[in-house]
Structure formats: C-alpha cells, structure tokens
Amino acid sequence: MTKLSRTDLYSLEEYSEIRDDFRNRVMAHKKNRRLYLGDNLLLLFEDRLVMHYQIQEMLKAEKIFEADGIQEELDAYNPLIPDGTNWKATMMIQYADVAERQQMLAKLVGIENRVWLRIGDHDKVYPIADEDLERATDDKTSAVHFLRFELSPAIIADVHKGAGISAGVDHENYSVTLDPIPENVAASLAQDLESIQ
C-alpha cells in the first residue's frame, strides 16, 4: 500500500468543497475496519484512505497550508499505513465509567502485547506494540496503543485464498476469542496485503 505524498492531498479550499462526501465515504469504509474484542477493547485497522482523511482533517483544523507543515503531517501519519506484509491498528481500551477505566488500566498492564490474530491453522500472530513511543508504565497501561501485526508470506497467501481469520486477547485479566472475525472486516483486511506469487 503506497504512502501518501503532497500530490495526493487536497488544498484547504478543495477539501472544504468535498469534505462532506469524502467524510461519508471514509465513515462507511471504517465500518469494515473496526473489530470489537469483547465489550471493552476495539481495534481500528488503519489504511491509506483512513490516513488520508486524518491528514486532511488535521490540515483543516490547524489551517496548515505551508509545505513544511504538510510534510510534518505526512511524516506523522504515513507510518500507520500498512506496508503490504502487515496489518496496523489503533487499539482502544474503552470503559464508560472513568473510575472503572482507571482501575482496569492498572489491571491490564501488558495487554497490548497479548492481542492476537490467527489465520487458518497458522500460529497466533502477536503484535509489535507502540513503536513510536512507550505508552505504558509498570503501574498502568494506556487507553490507546498502536499495533503492527507482521505476517509471513505463507499467512498472506492463505488470507488471499480465503482462510478464516480469528482474533482474541489472552491477558490474565481480559480474555476473549472471536472466531471467526466478521466477513466484512476480513475482506477489508485482505486488501491491505500484497499478492504472494
């Protein structure tokens, strides 16, 4: 999946004219990129279209139109676009009650390393978490983490052959298995991966 460049972006004026339609398209697309693991954990799988929208929204909000500022946004968001051999996701730990959330973030230290995906009969794939910066301490984890699931050529080939995808978490204080993940999510994720000949 190719990274975004300045030539892919709309000017602030162009974006203001198409924003509603573009946003509607992205929101519909994102419905196929959301994976709930139990009641309190959500994976949002990132891709080029989602990052394009994020960048456009940042440029609009901050009124950025100079080349250096635009490049800073590209540099911040391009690493979240899958590279053809992986899936990249934002993981959100969600508890509506603030006190419960704080309590659970203390109990869920290390959960970002215990999320898994499994394709067909292959072993579980655990993520590389938070490559950009450390988001947890010994006392509590963050409510937001960034995950990269690196996939072997054999796994990628099996995804393209339609192998089932399951997902889950095997943390001592949060355990869930989703087998299989919804078909719309699996189909969308398959598009992130390059074809293996």
Residue by residue, DSSP assigns 99-134 as HHHHHHHHHTTTGGGSEEEEETTSPPBPPEE-SSS-
**Widest CA span in the chain:** 51
Domain assignment present for residue 1? The answer is: no
Q: How far is CA 101 from the centre of its chain?
A: 21
Pair 107, 173: CB distance under 8 Å: yes
Q: How far is CA 147 from CA 48, 79, 90, 121, in A?
A: 16, 11, 6, 22
Domain that holds residue 134: 6-190
Pair 169, 115: CB distance under 8 Å: yes
Summarised one tens digit per residue, pLDDT across range 104-134 is: 999 999 999 999 999 999 999 999 999 876 7
Nearest Cα residue to 165 out of 135, 196, 120, 107: 120
Task: Provide the 3-class DSSP secondary structure of residue 92.
Answer: strand
Domain count across the chain: 1
Look up tokens 């659970």; give the residue.
104
Q: Which two tokens stand for residue 32?
A: 């196929």
Domain assignment present for residue 195? The answer is: no
The pair phi, psi for residue 86, each rounded to 5°, is -155, 170
Domain assignment present for residue 87? The answer is: yes
Q: What is the pLDDT of residue 196?
A: 61
Domain assignment present for residue 196? The answer is: no
Given CA atoms 78, 79, 80, 86 in this order, what sign does their dihedral have?
A: positive
Domain assignment present for residue 155? The answer is: yes
Each residue's pLDDT tens digit in the chain (197 positions)? 799 999 999 999 999 999 999 999 999 999 999 999 999 999 999 999 999 999 999 999 999 999 999 999 999 999 999 999 999 999 999 999 999 999 999 999 999 999 999 999 999 999 999 987 677 778 899 999 999 999 999 999 999 999 999 999 999 999 999 999 999 999 999 999 997 65
Pair 50, 43: CB distance under 8 Å: no
